[in-house]
Structure 1
Amino acid sequence: MTQFASLPWAAILFSALAMTLIVALRYLATSGLFAWITGRVRPGLYAGQDAQIRNEVRWSLASAAIYGLPAGVVAWGWQNRGWTRIYTDWSDWPLWYAPLSLMLYLLLHDTWFYWTHRWMHGPRGLRWGHALHHASKPPTAWAAMSFHPWEALSGALVIPLLTFVIPIHVGILGLVLTIMTVMGIANHMGWEMFSRRIVHGPLGKWLITASHHERHHREYRCNYGLYFRHWDRLCGTDRDPVDFSPRP
């Protein structure tokens, strides 16, 4: 208890606030970029959704604070106390471990997301807050972080907690966060950026894209995964992607 009380809480709070700012700016930059691309590739797709987009941005910025808090605490603990298993020297682990750690993080994050997301589609889960995310009809590139605070908290803890258990290079951790951000936005933007050959080919049988996640937003009771389709396939909740008429 004395050790806990002696922590420099001002420095930890500053780290959490700094990380919140980073997450918020990352959201505004990446969602803004994909929204701009949407305007160029699918002109008028978001017409009449201005009020919805404003709500998506407000809730997403609130989620940024919730994501930033544990991330800031972990960042401070890693740099100052060595709390985590994040490493910076590539020689600390064999090079073959780097892609393995990437897949471990993605698979475990996907597992957590599938089961919590599926629970959130029950009566209690929707009342718990997931209905807010589905209030975006249809979702836009700004909706990827538009969560009720309880749902945001459930998603904010996964990656920080994994850093205490599974070693990962800081660069690979950055790649995990990049994939999480890009897929979260791309899967909500209302059109398919991947070719038909990818979406309906062997790779698309295992990866989630906008065409796959769009069916979830239309039908609710299917396609719960985040990155991969294997849990949906194993549990009988996988449905074919919708046809966005992706580029050939």
Structure 2
Amino acid sequence: MIQISGPATFWLTALLFFIAIFGRYVLFSLAFWWLFKVSMKNQFAHRAVQTRPRKPGQDWREIGWSVLTSLIFTAIAMGVILAFQAGHTRIYANLRAYPLWWYPISIILVLFIHETYYYWLHRWMHRPGVYKLVHRTHHDSITTSAWTAFSFHPIESTLQAIVIPALTFVIPLHISAVGFILLIMTLSSAVNHLNTEIYPRNFDQHWIGRWLIGATHHSLHHTQFRFNYGLYFTFWDKWMKTESPDFHRLFGEKTKKEVKSVE
């Protein structure tokens, strides 16, 4: 990890982190937009979950909110770096510092805790008073796209961003595991907001697929509001009976035609 030795190094590091965070968002969003809306448009046209047109200028509004989100993520990341440098976190750089079996377990544990935190935070953000102040910005995107992935009010961005950094103070995590978790977070958010179902037919019934959130699952949250609060996984929605009763029917409708191979 970069050693910060003065103001110049601090601000250079912050700039590099912002470029990495915002650039990762742009890269994933552009890649999914090009792949499913341009390159393979005909093959995936029937898989658009919501057919309602997006609002004029919606892409640019989402990108604007995403810039603020990336700045907040950068500020929190800088705090973690300074804490790591001072020896306050449990991030480690030597892969042999812990048994190798701990590496995947630590990632699974963090994803489970993050999912749990987000599910209950999300339900709280749908309380009327909180929703108007914090969460309405994200729900301005009724028909979502990959650009919606980071489109949050700054308060929501902060609430979302604090959990993984907080866990680095209590759970030993290899520095590459932290990066991998953040990569999963960005990839999952882009897929879930794509408004194009990319998973294969009957994947919602598969022993793995039934636990993973995709575009159909999350799009129903943006249109129905009171269902499908999960982030990566469906288990809290299943356990708390908050999964939309329309999910499996809609998933079946959107995946009933198999995607033809690209010549």
TM-score by length of 2: 0.84
The amino acid of 1:197's aligned partner reads N
C-alpha separation in 1, matches of 2:55 and 2:13: 35
Residue 72 of structure 1 deviates from its aligned partner by 1.6
Alignment of 1:174-185 (within 5 A): 174-185=179-190
Residue 48 of structure 1 deviates from its aligned partner by 6.0
C-alpha separation in 2, matches of 1:10 and 1:24: 21
CA contact (8 A) 1:110 1:226 kept: yes
Give the number of aligned pairs: 241
Point out where structure 2 has 5 or more consecutive residues left out of the alignment. Answer: 259-263
Indicate whether 1:76 and 2:82 are aligned.
Answer: yes
Residue 126 of structure 1 deviates from its aligned partner by 1.1
Residue 196 of structure 1 deviates from its aligned partner by 1.6
Indicate whether 1:89 and 2:98 are aligned.
Answer: no
Alignment of 1:119-134 (within 5 A): 119-134=124-139
The amino acid of 1:18's aligned partner reads L
Residues 109-149 of structure 1, C-alpha deviations (whole Å, 9 max, x = no match):
11111011111111022112211111112011100000011
Indicate whether 1:113 and 2:118 are aligned.
Answer: yes
The amino acid of 2:33's aligned partner reads A
C-alpha separation in 2, matches of 1:38 and 1:137: 19
C-alpha separation in 2, matches of 1:107 and 1:171: 18
Structure 2 residue aligned with 1:65, among 71, 78, 93? 71
Structure 2 residue aligned with 1:21, among 19, 22, 39? 19
C-alpha separation in 2, matches of 1:12 and 1:28: 24
C-alpha separation in 2, matches of 1:48 and 1:129: 21
C-alpha separation in 2, matches of 1:125 and 1:48: 25
C-alpha separation in 2, matches of 1:50 and 1:33: 22
C-alpha separation in 1, matches of 2:19 and 2:182: 15
Higher relative CO (Cα under 8 Å, sequence separation at least 6) belongs to 2
C-alpha separation in 2, matches of 1:42 and 1:56: 22
Alignment of 1:145-156 (within 5 A): 145-156=150-161
Residue 57 of structure 1 deviates from its aligned partner by 0.7
C-alpha separation in 1, matches of 2:54 and 2:173: 44
C-alpha separation in 2, matches of 1:174 and 1:57: 23
Point out where structure 1 has 5 or more consecutive residues left out of the alignment. Answer: 1-6
Give 3-state SS (helix, strand or coil) of 1:166's partner: coil
Give 3-state SS (helix, strand or coil) of 2:238's partner: helix
Q: 1:83 to 1:11 in 2, by over 3 A?
A: farther
CA contact (8 A) 1:15 1:75 kept: no
Residue 232 of structure 1 deviates from its aligned partner by 1.1
C-alpha separation in 1, matches of 2:80 and 2:54: 41
- More deviation in 177-186 or 20-29? 20-29
Residues 87-118 of structure 1, C-alpha deviations (whole Å, 9 max, x = no match):
12221111111110010110111111101111
C-alpha separation in 1, matches of 2:201 and 2:93: 39
The amino acid of 1:228's aligned partner reads F
CA contact (8 A) 2:92 2:172 kept: yes
C-alpha separation in 2, matches of 1:162 and 1:15: 22
TM-score by length of 1: 0.89
